[in-house]
């Protein structure tokens, strides 16, 4: 248990499930806005014999990426992997788009992962075998009414991931995308979640895919994993 991973959006859903899935193999920097939830998760991880640092940050705030990296290095001495999981899911028909909605989707789902990747690259290069895993969505290459801004943000994240992968090949830093379909998390409105939860993926399913990527041998680059609900798109 020597490698260090940063997980954003760690206080619930896919981020929390990923932290618990990695608890026995990684030391973790858990990033989210909700301090109380992070503290609870750190205690759970310690109970599993793991080690974790809670960093309370809003990833879209100015300078957040640099502060997250600095806190990680100060506490653990370096960084081996980044899981860009923090994101938002909101729907709006194109005819009802507002500047605020578009800005939220692009800032959190695309801008923040790009800036955190930039900030962490020097540390990953030092490790000579680092990983960046960006959590995208099946919506990146599918068409769902009402998801115009969300789809654009996730498609942009996947395009960025492809470019970043090529730029980092010579540094032995791998870049992967995990693209889940509808997943049973608090991102869904309560009514829709209650109605469709049995047909959704579980956060643990997505966490298992992230763990698979991070544990891949240096001879393999896991470029993209899709986790689809077995019942098909919702």
CA terminus-to-terminus distance, the chain:
38
Angstrom distance (rounded) from CA 164 to CA 170: 11
Q: How many CB atoms lie within 10 A of CB 167?
A: 12
Residue in 26, 76, 89, 150 annotated catalytic: 150
Nearest 5°: the CA angle 113, 117, 120 is 135
Angstrom distance (rounded) from CA 221 to CA 219: 7
Angstrom distance (rounded) from CA 144 to CA 150: 10
150 is catalytic: yes
Instruction: Please state the φ and ψ torsions of residue 46, each to the nearest 5 degrees.
Output: -65, -35
State both tokens at 89: 């899911």
The answer to whether the beta carbons of residues 180 and 135 sit under 8 Å apart is yes
Angstrom distance (rounded) from CA 163 to CA 202: 29
DSSP character at residue 139: G
Angstrom distance (rounded) from CA 118 to CA 65: 8
Task: Point out the residues that are catalytic.
Answer: 150
């Amino acid at each position: 248990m020597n490698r260090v991973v940063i997980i954003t959006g760690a206080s619930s859903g896919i981020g929390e499930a990923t932290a618990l899935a990695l608890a026995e193999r990684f030391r973790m920097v858990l990033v989210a806005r909700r301090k109380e939830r992070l503290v609870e998760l750190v205690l759970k991880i310690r109970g599993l014999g793991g080690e974790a640092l809670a960093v309370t940050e809003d990833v879209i705030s100015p300078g957040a990426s640099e502060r997250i990296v600095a806190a990680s290095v100060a506490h653990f001495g370096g960084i081996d992997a980044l899981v860009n999981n923090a994101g938002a899911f909101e729907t709006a028909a194109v005819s009802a788009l507002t500047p605020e909605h578009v800005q939220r989707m692009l800032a959190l789902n695309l801008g923040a992962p790009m800036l955190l990747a930039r900030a962490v690259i020097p540390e990953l290069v030092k490790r000579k075998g680092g990983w960046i895993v960006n959590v995208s969505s099946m919506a990146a290459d599918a068409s769902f009414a009402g998801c115009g801004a969300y789809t654009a943000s996730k498609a942009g994240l996947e395009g960025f991931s492809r470019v970043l992968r090529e730029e980092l090949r010579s540094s032995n830093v791998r870049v992967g995308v995990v693209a889940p379909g509808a997943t049973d998390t608090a991102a869904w409105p309560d009514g829709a979640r209650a109605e469709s939860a049995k047909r959704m993926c579980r956060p643990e399913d997505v966490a298992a895919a992230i763990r698979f990527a991070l544990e891949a041998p240096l001879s393999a680059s896991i470029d993209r994993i899709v986790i689809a609900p077995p019942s098909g798109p919702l």
